[in-house]
Chains A and B, each alone.
Chain A
Amino acid sequence: MIEIKDVTKIYRAKGREIVGVKDVSLTIERGEIFGIVGYSGAGKSSLLRCLNLLEKPTSGDILIDGVSITKLGKKELRDERLKIGMIFQHFYLISAKTVFENIAFALKAAGKTKDQIQGRTLELLKMVGLENQKDQYPAQLSGGQKQRVGIARALANDPKVLLCDEATSALDPNTTKAILSLLKSINKELGITIVLITHEMEVVKEICHRMAVMQDGEIIESGDVYTIFANPKEELTKTFISSVIQMDLPEPLLKNRKGIVIKIQFKGAIAEEAIVSELFQNFKVKGNILHGKIEYIQETPLGIFIMELIGDEGEVKRAIAYIEGRIENLEVVKHVA
């Protein structure tokens, strides 16, 4: 378990003070995948780098399994870092070393013997699917393969935590998918807690259990991924979500509607109920579905529909009231002109 307590990070450059992280408190549970989203400069990278003390917080404390890492001596900090793996957007492999040697480097840092290193490195290569590339140099690998080496290196010493610094941002969509599913299986099978930062909401939607949104060094919203996707509170969160779930009608299309346009959102089990068909049975309105989509977030459905309701004004109002009684999220996009 990682406890971040009132962490602030201030950078001093040329007499100016720049606040990287502002008074952030956060608890990340053991075994979960936690995503931190934000634009570049939001402070998410600084915050992540505080977790293995690549950056020393200006104030505040970080506890990993109850141990305050900000108070560790040099030697103890190195030992602690063996237990915290980290992967990077640009991989940062040693270009003069082969794939095998890059992974072996991490084991050497842990003081393993030659035999132990040999065995464990082969095991890791197998896990990330690079047995055939072990004697190649990083320059000969594709981006996805480089990140797999990065993952193998990070997992070498059986860490309890894996930090991912924009790990898929330099990869194409297909490779991103493959790397994400590798991370997901690592989390599931090895029980490793994963903390990732990204500006891609897709990544969060794909693998995270819980998330936080950062802006100007502060966490503005955090919680369960599904809840936040279904019910974003902050403007920025909404913007991020709309980047994956595009649910706006083109303006000209909306203009030409004669009836009332509503946007309804179904969450979880209710998405599987027959609310829409009941609506048309019980009320004298005609419906016209303009847009609809069901997204699965962590295997739970989230449905969004945009409908035009045409009919007698009073009847439409009653129909809307009926839906409002059944589900939480109804938004009237356009009233009758």
Chain B
Amino acid sequence: MDFFGSIPWLLIFTSLAKTIFLVFLVVLPMVSYTVYAERRVSALIQDRLGPNRTGFPLTLLGFKKDFSPFLGGLGQPIADAVKFLLKEDLTPGHVNKPYFWLAPALAMMPAIVTLSAVPFGSELFGYKMVVADINVGLLFMFAISSVSVYGIVLAGWSSNSKYPFLGGIRSTSQMISYELCMGLSAVPVLLVTGSTGLSKIVNYQVEHGWLLAPFTDGGLQLREVLLIIPIFIAFITFTISMFAETNRLPFDLPESETELVAGYHTEYSSMKFALFFLGEYTAMIAGSALVVVLFLGGWHVPFIPDGSHGAIFGLINIATFFGKVALLLICFIWVRWTLPRFRYDQLMKLGWLYLFEIALVNIFITAGILAYTK
């Protein structure tokens, strides 16, 4: 028996190359600079300066001067990472050790895995710029991100103290509630594009114009104009539920420091805490990437062809995609430092009594428009 089957070495190699490029060269640096951006933008909003000193310590490598680029503080993420790694890693005596150690990994991992289905560019040297081009990409992202709740729940439970526990309980019910809204508000997009594969959704938008801005293909039809209304509602409900799913500020009840110290990661220190922190920001990037793919045309901008016309266009497409993601991340930060926190009952009421119903009715409106303007 051919026990190993025929191993597709080329496929394994290209997938590995894409994964390494995506995770280590794009997403993880993006995560650390999102943290930096968060601190700088919050400082801007609150009329402070923020971290503007840390440069790159080139004197350590034998150069004459330290390098501090134009904005100042761009070395801050590196200094933060070193600090996280060097701090003492405390494991309190009262915790349930195996689960206490498992939880940070479970918080970080799903967010990275979801990115494998995202088409982050058109093509480069003939290879599609998506790690796993599956025809259920959207459902895959929902499925894996629904697993990420285990990290928070386990952290809360295994810490064996009451504030983390309350945080864990809150996040469980919050994430389950908003998952429904998120799934339902993506259905209009599926109805219009007719596919759950993320690459196909992007290709539809390249041909027919972005769903939120259908004029990007150069023409407008009656159907596209009518569809803007339900698509815009879907965009709003989807974005709001994404804020709740990633535990970001109007909805960061699981870690609200005014009542729960730090919520589920109260007992964590050093790199284990950093993994929760990074997991939250990676989930933000994954969520923004999903919004870009579903509503904002993925890697497409008008008048720039896809990567089959030359490697330079392929690179521009990748840059465009992550540029759009970065814009959404700025919005995330902006909202966080603008809005106050919801109360817990308000959060549940908003999810179940308003967003859920709006998303449900929205599906019927979309289906009606699609049926009558054929």
**Do chains A and B stick together as partners?**
no
